[in-house]
Amino acid sequence: MTSESTEKAGRPTDEDLTRRILTTAGEMLGERGYQALSVEQVAKAVGCGKTAIYRRYADKGALVAEVLRSQVEIGAMPDRGSIRADLLEHVLQNQRNQELSPEQSHGLRAMFEPDVFPTLWDSFFQHRRRQGVEIIDRAISRGELPEDVHHDILLDTIAGLTLYRQSVKRIHIDERHFVDIIDALVSTPPRRFADADEQASP
């Protein structure tokens, strides 16, 4: 019992190898995209066997999902006092995550792959939406937004713009543009109607 208490029997998983797999896969994903990414080539580049990868991740999709998840840090969303400051922080957090890989945000498109998306939906999109809803609810209680504001339309407008620019057009958005868009959405907020909106996907 020279080490930690909760040790499993047998040879322990090489966590350093896990890191190397993720970083290498991340690089190759950024360069080639999902389709052209080969598990065999990742293994070769890392210097390990495919076995090591497939023991950790069920399939290529799970690997890539984990790569993307590891690249995206979802921080806390403290109350910054105003809806505009809150939303700006919310959206900038997204941009910051992707700036790490300069133009190689090529990898971000892998998000849309059918084998990747469902896994990311819960841990990323839904999580992010919940943060957004909190921000809007705070604004409502502050009186900055009307009570019948449509949470999802407002949030999806921002998320859509970010996603469209980052993963489709691949052009960075100036912070001032975000300020303008947020300003527009807050000044003239989208209303909720009687109809219920589903929460579909994936």
Q: Which residues bind DNA (CB under 7 A)?
A: 1-3, 7-14, 17-18, 37-41, 47-52, 54-56, 58-61
Cβ-based nearer residue to DNA, 23 or 157: 23
Shortest Å distance, C-beta 68 to DNA: 16
Task: Based on the shown chain and the rule CB under 8 A, indicate whether residue 102 belongs to the binding site for a copy of itself.
Answer: no
Task: Based on the shown chain and the rule CB under 8 A, indicate whether residue 63 belongs to the binding site for a copy of itself.
Answer: no
Cβ-based nearer residue to a copy of itself, 49 or 184: 184
Task: Based on the shown chain and the rule CB under 8 A, indicate whether residue 200 belongs to the binding site for a copy of itself.
Answer: yes
- The DSSP annotation for the chain comes to --S-SSPPSSSPP-HHHHHHHHHHHHHHHHHHHHHH--HHHHHHHHTS-HHHHHHHSSSHHHHHHHHHHHH---------SSHHHHHHHHHHHHHHHHHTSSS-GGGGGGGGSTTTHHHHIIIIIIHHHHHHHHHHHHHHHHTSS-TTB-HHHHHHHHHHHHHIIIIII--PPPHHHHHHHHHHHHHSPPBP-SSPPP----
Look at residue 112 and give the partner it binds from DNA, a copy of itself, none, a contact being a CB closer than 5 to 8 Å depending on partner kind. a copy of itself
Query: Interface with a copy of itself by CB under 8 A: which residues?
Result: 33, 35-36, 106, 109, 112-115, 117, 125, 150, 153, 156-157, 159-165, 167-171, 173-174, 176-177, 180-181, 183-185, 187-191, 193, 195, 197-201
